[in-house]
Structure 1
Amino acid sequence: MKDKIVLAYSGGLDTSVIIPWLKDNYDCEVIAVVVNVGQKEDFKSVEEKAYLIGASKFYAIDKTEEFVEEYVFPTLKMGGVYENKYLLGTAMARPVITKALVEIAQKEKAKYIAHGATGKGNDQVRFELGVKALDPTIEIIAPWRIWDIKSREEEIAYLEEKGITLPFPKKSPYSRDENIFHISHEGFDLELPENEPNYDNILQWTNTVENAPDKGEYIKLEFIKGIPVKLNDETLSGSEIISKLNKIGGLHGIGILDMVENRLVGMKSRGVYETPGGTILFYAHEELERLCLDKDTAHMKQLLSQEFSKLIYNGKWFTTLRKSLSAFGDITQEYVTGEVKIKLYKGNMILAGCKSPYSLHSESFSTFEGDNVYNQKDAEGFINLFGLPLKIESLLKRPVKLHE
């Protein structure tokens, strides 16, 4: 009986070449698995292609809602933003994809999981750390780290040698990754940071600022315990909220990001990201937290969110530390409930009001008018004690006058 390999399959040229290559080099059955995390794809066409190329079995698994509820929203609650810019759209999707691959591998009693990530990127680490965490008995095959194929032309030639002449659409000059939360663009002219992105050729979801409407639009988001539950007073699922915000935000040019980031493997890379709905959600959530979190918790959360973001970016979703930080995030969100109103206008998000039944902002305490809850004379004693270390240090450092 032949061993089985579960392949993370997309239907593109790269993973299509991997199917016959695996059969040639490992003499195994290849099971192609597509994990739907909200990308726009004709999955029936992908299935037909997989069988024509030589897959013994095909799975298309919809994990969109799980991706949003169990990966995106925990990251939202922790304010996970890598290097203060990247909203982790690709990094968050890899663990849910890996989990699905492992589930199929266990079901099929497969010995291997294969992926089409290159040896230069982050995804190879994210996939493989996930497999090691979920089932360390499964072995990994990464063809791009093994084979001699170096170009699209060589991939096509390899397929033709096998008698496979399926049409593959002309490849965009950009390398793209899409899910319900974002779409990324890398390569081609973006590899030179001095080049201004040609947004008319790059953008798929989002208007440029120039093409955005001349009239702004107000939206209202309602959160319960840090999770968005309503958009413009309509109760929706997590994926529905993100999908609608993608359209609204994309119309107004929200969420376009041009970034040079530090990859896990040690090099810098430049990419353009479109995250219209996610950008709005993170902005609204942060503004609501300003009302609901006490100062010490808010400041500590800012520090821990950086560590959380690095864990996600580096493929460590299934670690004890990530779970512990998520538990911290859950506790901080207990009272992050309320409404946020935002005006969207030509790439800008303008806060138009925020309210919560658990708001820690008190007009009676913070008012500049007369009040009965704060004795301003108390400030003198506080300042004396708060400044005591400074006063003692200054006194000790005063120059000593020596007797002549």
Structure 2
Amino acid sequence: MQSPLIRSFSQLDTLDPNRPVVTLFSGGLDSSYLLLRLRRMGVRDVHAVSVDIGEDESSQYKRQVAEALGATIHILDRREEFAGQYVAPAIAAQAVYLGIHPVSSTLSRPLIARSAVDLARALGAQTVLHTANRSQNTLRRLNGALTLLGWEGSFGSPYDLDPVTREEKLVELRSAGIDLLAGRIVSGDSNLWCREFESGILDDPERHAVPEDMYTWSRPTALPGDSETLTVSIERGLPVAVDGVPMPLTDLIDQLNHRVGAYGLGRYSGLEHLDHGEKVLEIREMPGAYLLLSSYRHVESACLDAELIREKRHLEQVWVREALEGRWFGDLRLTVQAFMDTCAARTTGSVTWRLRTGGADTRAINALKPLYLRDREAWEERAIEAESAPFARADSLLTAV
């Protein structure tokens, strides 16, 4: 039986100050403040876990803050695992939330949770803490993942029932000699697949704007009238090459983020629901995802029967729902994944695009075992001949008789 869920700072008083505590650490205000609170409580063995999946924050910055607050930092490079075991399945599942935007933190949270649990077990830790609050979907995704992973100790976020204002956190950190976090006007989350912004100046869906300098990948650098062609190759459901050059998925996504983003492509905005149905605004830039998801759909359409694709489109949203609700490690998501993998095994081909400012157009769709026609008139003639053949044979037999 798992220990009680931690939902408030008062529950931290029950921790044994002599046993290890693992906290997820992003280098942001919430996770830094939690380290401060643990230090003030006298917890002697705090381990701050940062899972590197291609985020914006530098390792040096995180190390500086964690060590200043008395924690041992663990920076775990999980970029290849994230791309291969989380992003790749999402591409095959066409993981787009309600047709609005590709999912992102939905994919990273289960990997972060697994990494924290692995470390906590190795250390013999008593708890795994994170800093998600009630207005963040991360709360149910991390708690859901930690539950399904069967973590034996306590876990949760003290911010769930004990929100602390931004100003309070800044004041207390400054008094402790930590003054590295001022000036942030939104909450950000980034990885090699997506850069995402929410809250702060983006709180109000009815009136919001993202300063252009917050975008990195999708800030247009191509000149008006510029264009280029680009080919994405897919083998058995996995993107494997750009312009015929094989590369790991991490490098492939990185290249597309910059090449596609140069034309101002890959920006998304949309509302996403919280645990009880309320909705919040999220802004994303995902140029690589923009082109990869479209490329995959084109190749898949060339390879799979129409009825199979119709059923797959329904199951894609089941996959998204289960992952989104924190059930990545749940039976239903895993079962649907088996269906996606079966379809992916038959999805091999390539798409050539012409990139231009404001859009991308296909120039060639190729499949290893295509279902498409390349010459309709020739096909019609063959189809008529095949349909007529039995009647011709029948007439010949009658004539012979």
Q: TM-score, normalized by length of structure 1? A: 0.86
User: 2:238 aligns to what?
Assistant: 227
User: Given residue 143 of structure 1, which amino acid in structure 2 is its aligned partner?
Assistant: P
Q: Secondary structure at the match of 1:19?
A: helix
Q: 1:244, 1:274 → 2: CA distance?
A: 14
Task: Evaluate the alpha carbon distance shift between residue 88 and residue 268 of structure 1 in structure 2; reply closer, same or farther with a 3 A threshold.
Answer: same
Q: Provide closer, same or farther for how the CA distance between residues 114 and 278 of structure 1 changes in structure 2, counting only shifts above 3 A.
A: same
> Equivalent residues in 2 for 1:85-104 (5 A)?
85-104=100-119
Give the aligned residue type for 1:166: I
Which residue pairs with 1:383 in the alignment?
none
Matched, 1:79 2:89: no
Q: Deviations over 1:209-237 (max 9, x none)?
A: x9764211110011100101110111100
**2:54 match:** 38
Q: 1:309 aligns with which of 299, 311, 320?
A: 320
- Kindly state the Cα deviation for residue 28 of structure 1 after the two structures are TM-superposed: 5.3
What's the counterpart of residue 337 of structure 2?
A: 326
Where does residue 377 of structure 2 map in the other structure? 367
- Report Cα offsets for 1:5-63 as digits up to 9, x if no partner: 100012222211101212444745211111000113321332232122121x2211000
SS of alignment partner, residue 145 of structure 1: coil
Structure 1 Cα separation of the partners of residues 81 and 162 of structure 2: 34
In the TM superposition, residue 369 of structure 1 has moved relative to its aligned partner by: 7.0
Tell me, yes or no, if the aligned pair for 1:223 and 1:339 is still in contact at 8 Å. yes
Please tell me whether residue 120 in structure 1 is matched to residue 135 in structure 2.
yes
For 2:265, give the aligned amino acid.
I
1:211-266 CA-partner distances (Å, limit 9, x unpaired): 76421111001110010111011110000000000010110111111212223342
Deviation string, structure 1 residues 356-383 (Cα, Å, up to 9, x no partner): 121011346x4377512246989xxxxx
- Structure 1 moving runs of 4+ over 4 Å: 210-213, 375-378
Correspondence for 1:50: 66
Give me the whole-angstrom Cα distance separating, in 1, the residues matched to 2:184 and 2:223.
Answer: 25
Alpha-carbon distance between aligned partners in 1 of 2:48 and 2:223, rounded to the nearest angstrom:
41
**Does residue 1:274 correspond to 2:274, yes or no?**
no
* Contact kept in structure 1, 2:135 and 2:274, CA below 8 Å: no
Instruction: For 1:115 and 1:37, locate their aligned partners in 2 and report how far apart those are by CA, in whole Å.
Output: 17
In structure 2, the partner of 1:177 is 189
CA contact 2:205–2:280 (8 Å) conserved in 1:
no
Distance 1:141 1:4, change over 3 A: farther
CA distance in 1, matches of 2:384, 2:95: 37
> In structure 2, the residue corresponding to 1:165 is in which secondary structure?
coil
| 1:222/1:228 contact within 8 Å kept | yes
| C-alpha separation in 1, matches of 2:96 and 2:58 | 31
Q: Structure 1 CA distance, aligned partners of 2:226 and 2:163?
A: 54
| 1:20 matched to 2:36 | yes
Query: What is the Cα deviation at residue 146 of structure 1?
Result: 4.4
Aligned to 1:203: 215
Structure 2 unaligned residues grouped into runs of 5+: 1-16, 389-401
Q: Give the drift of 1:131.
A: 0.9
Cα distance in 1 for partners of 2:223, 2:153 equals 49
Contact 1:34 / 1:59 at 8 angstroms: preserved in 2? yes
Q: Secondary structure at the match of 2:382?
A: coil
1:217–1:345 contact (8 Å) kept in structure 2:
yes
CA 1:128/1:198 → structure 2, altered by over 3 Å: closer, same or farther?
closer
Whole-Å separation in 1 of the counterparts to 2:224 and 2:105: 29
Change (3 A) 1:111 1:316: same
Cα contact 1:13–1:168 (8 A) shared by 2? no
Which residue matches 2:274?
A: 263
Mean Cα deviation higher: 183-192 or 278-287: 183-192
Change beyond 3 A, Cα 1:342–1:33:
same
Q: Secondary structure at the match of 1:144?
A: coil
Separation of aligned partners in 2, 1:118 and 1:195: 23
